[in-house]
Amino acid sequence: MELSEKTIEHFRNPQNVGEMENPEGLGTITNPVCGDLTKLYLRVRGGVVEDAKFLSFGCAVTIASASVLTEKIKGKEISQLLSGSDDEIISRLIGLIESELGEIPAAKLHCPPATVQAFLEAMAGYMEKERDPQFSSRIKGLIPLVSSYYKRGEEEEG
C-alpha cells in the first residue's frame, strides 16, 4: 500500500495537533471500520471557524485527514461549509481532504469520512450551544449519511 507524498507529509508533520480549552464544538469519533480515534475541537467567532485542533490515535491516513481538514476549515464561514444538499455537504467536506492528500489506497478510504463525522458532531454541538436547534438537527441528520462513505473501497479490496 503506497501513500501519497502529501499524506506522508501531513502524517509526519501534522498541523493543528492538540487540545483546545473550552471549545465551542467538540466531536469525537471511533472509526467503525478500523477503530482509529479522532477528537476535533472548534473555536467559532461570528459564524467563522477561527481555530480547529485535533487529537488522533490512528494510522497515517487518519492523522493526515484530520490535519488537512483542520487547515481547510479555519477562516471559513460555517454557512459556506454547510450549504447545499446533504450529499453536497458531505462530498465537499470529504473532497477538501482527498483533493489535498491525492490518491488514497482503497483500504484507507474509510479514514476521511471519520474526520468529517467528527467535524459534523463538533458543529452540531456548537449549534446547540448557540441555541439553533433547527441547524443543529440538520447537521445531526448528516452524520448517519456519512456511513455510506465508509464502504468505499470495499469492492476494490475484496
Mean pLDDT of 7-14: 94
Mean pLDDT of 101-126: 93
For the stretch 86-89, contacts whose Cβ atoms lie closer than 8 Å and that sit 24 or more positions apart, written own/partner, are: 86/141, 86/142, 86/145, 87/145, 89/142
In a domain, 154, yes or no: no
Name every residue whose Cβ is closer than 8 Å to that of residue 89 and which is 6 or more positions away in sequence: 81, 82, 83, 142
pLDDT at 155: 55
In a domain, 116, yes or no: yes
Q: Write down the residue that cell numbers 459534523 correspond to.
A: 120
pLDDT at 154 over 70: no
Q: Which residues of 105-138 are buried (b: 16+ CB within 10 A; e: fewer)?
A: bebbbbbbbbbbbbbbbbbbbbbbeeeeeebbeb
Domain ranges, residue 42: 5-148
In a domain, 153, yes or no: no
In a domain, 67, yes or no: yes
In a domain, 140, yes or no: yes
Label residue 158 by pLDDT band (50, 70, 90). Answer: very low
Residue 19: count other Cβ atoms within 10 Å of its Cβ: 11
pLDDT at 102: 92
Tell me phi and psi for residue 29, to 5 degrees: -135, 135
For 82-96, write each residue's pLDDT tens digit: 999 999 999 999 999
Range scoring the smallest mean pLDDT among 45-54, 55-64, 135-144, 146-155:
146-155
Q: What is the CATH number of the domain that holds 118?
A: 3.90.1010.10
Q: What's the total number of domains in the chain? A: 1
Residue 13: count other Cβ atoms within 10 Å of its Cβ: 10
Q: Which residues of 82-103 are buried (b: 16+ CB within 10 A; e: fewer)?
A: beeeeeebbeebbebbbebbee
In a domain, 80, yes or no: yes
Q: What is the average pLDDT score of the chain?
A: 91
Mean pLDDT of 24-42: 95
Mean pLDDT of 122-132: 88
